[in-house]
Amino acid sequence: MPDLPNILMSLLAALGLGVLIGAVRQRQHPDTLAGLRTHGLAALLGAVAYTLGEPVFLVLLVLVAGLVLISYWRESAHDIGLTGEVALMLTVLLGALSCRQPVLAVGLAVVTASLLYAKASLHRFAQQVLSEREVHDGLVLLASALVILPLLPDHPIGPYGSLNPATLWKLAVLVMAISALGHAALRIIGNRWGLAVAGFFAGYVSSTAAIAGFGQRVREIPALLRPAVAAAMLSNLASLSLFVPVLLAVAPALLPKLAVELAAAAAVLLIGGLLGLRGNGAGPIAPTAEQRMFRVNQTLAFVAIIASVLVVSAAMNAWLGPRGALLAAVVAALVELHAAVATLGQLFQQGVLDDAQARWGLLGLLAASTLAKSGVAFASGGKAYGLRVATGLVAMLVAVATTVVLFPAR
């Protein structure tokens, strides 16, 4: 039998995963009818039946389903849960799966055992930690990402082909997700460090969306103003760091030319982020029953502004032609800074811009981005939040302009 080693490996995998699930189940319920031995035998039975053929396996499933129903009827007076019955059926199926993909079967068994073992923690999390508002907002976020987004057309439409519905809705999902990330970070880590951590990593996706999301946090909890501003600065620092791979991919020769400007901007953003963490972090943790994870109406307004700017940028590019490419890039920086930087790199690589023009072009892109992000900060977080975010971004812009003026030739 040339397949005997593989068959033995599958049977051993089935026996092992069954014993694992059964051990966890019996440890939690010593008087359960399906414990360590039963699950081990059920998984082994599933593997043997699958090896003998699909008809035998189908008969086995029917028999096991009948036994599960009988067990449920007998135990329903004491325990109305279905966890044990479902776990036994899953053990049989995983035993069969081990005949085709033993690694996947064992991995799923580990996940199953972990879920069974974490029963008390999961129940406490669902009943005591999560609030009704958080569950509602989580479902809205999942529906937006998994139901609405796949249904939207993923191609340019509208004036000058400037609008991509799928891309715009991705931004909406992103804003909601970042706001939810900040909400979760606040509850897990705390006011002082939670938003900072969330802000930095959110900046790798979209610093503009991060500013909008954290602005929503400030409107919900004004006491979070200082850490929210720090998070906004750190999100821009992370966004700025993405200039390096973008320029390395598009125009490697341009990166050394802009190194001083990028370093100055990064230093200012880092200082701004650290200054925002000086406080003692005092302030209320977001009440689970009172605070929203995000505001859908504010998110939709943010996306509408982005769509308007995209139309204007596409119109300028169509009217002015290649000579207006840099101006179009500056306008595009109002919405997507990294795409604008890639355009700047392409213009430099093609010889349209020299070193000095590229540095001034970078300043123009950052100025446009600063203007847009400051407006988003005011709109999402109010005057106090907007003023502080705008001050930090303008300070970054001044640092870049200073290096451009003081070091014109390198």
As averages over each run of 10 residues, the pLDDT of the chain (410 residues) reads 71 87 79 74 87 84 78 59 77 88 88 81 61 77 88 83 80 76 66 69 77 85 85 90 81 89 94 75 45 74 71 69 67 76 77 82 91 90 92 94 81
Reduced to 3 states, what is the DSSP secondary structure of residue 323?
helix
Q: Which of 83, 104, 126 is the last residue of a domain?
A: 126
Q: Which residues contact 283 (CB under 8 A, 6 or more apart)?
A: 191, 221, 223, 224, 227
The distance between the two most distant Cα atoms of the chain, rounded to a whole number of Å, is 86
Q: Do 137 and 70 sit in the same domain of this protein?
A: no
pLDDT of residue 173: 84
pLDDT of residue 300: 81
Spatial distance between the Cα atoms of 378 and 373, rounded to a whole number of angstroms = 9
Q: Do 152 and 196 sit in the same domain of this protein?
A: yes
Q: Closest by alpha carbon to 228, among 359, 377, 345, 330?
A: 377
Domain that holds residue 162: 130-406
Q: Do 388 and 304 sit in the same domain of this protein?
A: yes
Q: Do 236 and 368 sit in the same domain of this protein?
A: yes
Q: Do 157 and 71 sit in the same domain of this protein?
A: no
Q: Is the dihedral angle over the CA atoms 120, 125, 127, 128 positive or is it negative?
A: positive
Reduced to 3 states, what is the DSSP secondary structure of residue 131?
coil
Q: Which of 78, 97, 126 is the last residue of a domain?
A: 126
pLDDT of residue 281: 47
- Cα-Cα-Cα-Cα dihedral of 90, 92, 95, 100, to 10°? -80
Spatial distance between the Cα atoms of 43 and 206, rounded to a whole number of angstroms = 47
Q: Which residues contact 291 (CB under 8 A, 6 or more apart)?
A: 133, 183, 220, 221
Angle at 241 between CA 298 and CA 196, to 5 degrees: 50
pLDDT of residue 378: 93
Spatial distance between the Cα atoms of 326 and 333, rounded to a whole number of angstroms = 10
Q: Do 95 and 149 sit in the same domain of this protein?
A: no
Q: Do 78 and 180 sit in the same domain of this protein?
A: no
Spatial distance between the Cα atoms of 62 and 111, rounded to a whole number of angstroms = 25
Q: Which of 126, 146, 167 is the last residue of a domain?
A: 126
Q: Do 114 and 140 sit in the same domain of this protein?
A: no
Domain count across the chain: 2
What is this structure's pTM?
0.57
Q: Do 334 and 380 sit in the same domain of this protein?
A: yes
Q: Do 204 and 271 sit in the same domain of this protein?
A: yes
* Cross-strand pairs, 157: 163
pLDDT of residue 67: 76
Q: Do 198 and 320 sit in the same domain of this protein?
A: yes
Q: Do 118 and 185 sit in the same domain of this protein?
A: no
* Cross-strand pairs, 163: 157
